[in-house]
Amino acid sequence: MSRTMKREGPARRPTVRRQPPKTSFGDRMIARMPVSEAVLRKAVTWTILGLAGGAAIVTASWFGVPATIGTAVADSSGQLGLRVEQVDITGLKRMNRETVYAVALEDQPNAMLRVDLTQIRERLLAYGWVSDAYVSRRLPDRLLIHIVEREPAAIWQNGGNLTLIDAKGVPLETVDRDRMPDLPLVIGPGADRQEAAYQRLLAAAPALKPRVKAATWVGNRRWDLTFDTGETLALPQDGAAAALVRFAQLDGSRALLGKGWLRFDMRDPAKLVARKPGADLEHQVPDDGSGAAIDPERLARVGDA
């Protein structure tokens, strides 16, 4: 009796489902970005190369490698279009625009990246009219210069020369005698360096300030003020502001200015002495504190006896 045998194939292994590999936090962030992974990896690569290149330049500079490499790069950029083609200057009120061009751009290269902004600013600050200056680039071809000008405050007369100065006494430019601006005149050696103190002195008596037309710095220690009516007031070395305030009070109550007096002397702050034209004697102006008006002719007779 025959028996048919069935050959059994190899036993099947149970199917095992593999879990997908876990992704890192960085990979998940890259996947969420709006750029492709390839673009992002290129950006990272170029950033690393840029940092490495910068480090190499710093190292080369540290060890004394000449700066001709950087100069050559800047010159090449100029050939590619980064050249100074236009200069915009703002802030000018009295200065000549051509003067600013000449001061700022003297010996400067045409390549934009080689223009020395610090040097331009220092040159401008050395010019009398310039109080401050701002210099910047606007690529590819524009240079921006903003000027802050000084404000003229007085005319300084020293010997035969007239010079316009600001409130700090900084010389601005020479003044033509035939075209003098309507500004106070300060006279004498060192008067320019006293301009700030002189302005504070006038500020103490604002009612008299517009009437003062000139001030002479005497002996490098005190002021003689000249008024628009022609009189001169000699102020003391110490306490000049208080003496000027007192004179303003006396003029307000007794109308001293414009009454024919030649000179008032307050070098002794305790008294005011006046002189008439051609008179040999000085006349002390009485101060009884009443504030009553006194006839100038009566003042002229004080002390005549």
Tens digit of pLDDT per residue, the chain (305 long)?
445 444 455 555 555 555 555 555 555 655 665 556 665 565 555 566 456 545 545 554 555 444 444 444 444 444 445 788 888 999 999 988 998 888 878 877 778 888 889 999 999 999 889 999 999 988 888 899 999 999 999 999 998 899 999 999 999 999 998 888 989 999 999 999 999 999 999 999 999 999 999 999 999 999 999 999 999 999 999 999 999 999 999 999 988 999 989 999 999 878 889 988 875 445 565 554 433 333 444 444 333 32
- Give the pLDDT confidence score for residue 300 in this predicted structure: 43
Q: In which element (H, E) is residue 192 found?
A: none
Same domain assignment for residues 132 and 256: no
Same domain assignment for residues 228 and 295: yes
Same domain assignment for residues 121 and 256: no
Same domain assignment for residues 172 and 94: no
Same domain assignment for residues 137 and 244: no
- Give the pLDDT confidence score for residue 14 in this predicted structure: 55
Last residue of a domain, one of 149, 170, 194: 149
CATH number for the domain harbouring residue 296: 3.40.50.11690
- The DSSP string of 121-169 is HHHHHTSTTEEEEEEEEETTTEEEEEEEEPPEEEEEEETTEEEEEETT-
- Give the pLDDT confidence score for residue 288 in this predicted structure: 47
Q: How would you class 51 by CB atoms within 10 Å of its CB: exposed for 0-12, middle for 13-18, buried for 19 or more?
A: exposed
Give the count of domains, the chain.
Answer: 2
Same domain assignment for residues 156 and 294: yes
Is residue 23 assigned to a domain?
no
- Give the pLDDT confidence score for residue 76 in this predicted structure: 42
Same domain assignment for residues 144 and 158: no
Residue 24's Cα: distance from chain center in Å? 57
Is residue 61 assigned to a domain?
no
- Give the pLDDT confidence score for residue 289 in this predicted structure: 45
Tokens coding 256: 């001293």
Is residue 118 assigned to a domain?
yes
Same domain assignment for residues 135 and 160: no
247 contacts: CB under 8 Å, gap ≥ 6: 205, 208, 233, 256, 264, 266, 272
Report the C-alpha gap between 244 and 249 in whole angstroms.
9
295 contacts: CB under 8 Å, gap ≥ 6: none
Same domain assignment for residues 88 and 144: yes
Is residue 42 assigned to a domain?
no
Report the C-alpha gap between 147 and 134 in whole angstroms.
7
Domain carrying residue 207 = 152-301
Q: In which element (H, E) is residue 48 found?
A: helix 37-62
Same domain assignment for residues 144 and 174: no
Is residue 16 assigned to a domain?
no
Last residue of a domain, one of 134, 149, 164: 149
Same domain assignment for residues 121 and 226: no
Is residue 58 assigned to a domain?
no
Is residue 257 assigned to a domain?
yes
Same domain assignment for residues 226 and 281: yes
CATH number for the domain harbouring residue 135: 3.10.20.310
Last residue of a domain, one of 126, 149, 172: 149
Helix or strand or coil: residue 240?
Answer: helix
Is residue 27 assigned to a domain?
no
* DSSP conformational letter for 119: H
Report the C-alpha gap between 200 and 244 in whole angstroms.
12
Tell me, letter by letter, the H, E, C secondary structure of 193-216.
HHHHHHHHHHHCCCCCHHHEEEEE
Helix or strand or coil: residue 44?
Answer: helix
Tokens coding 109: 């290269």
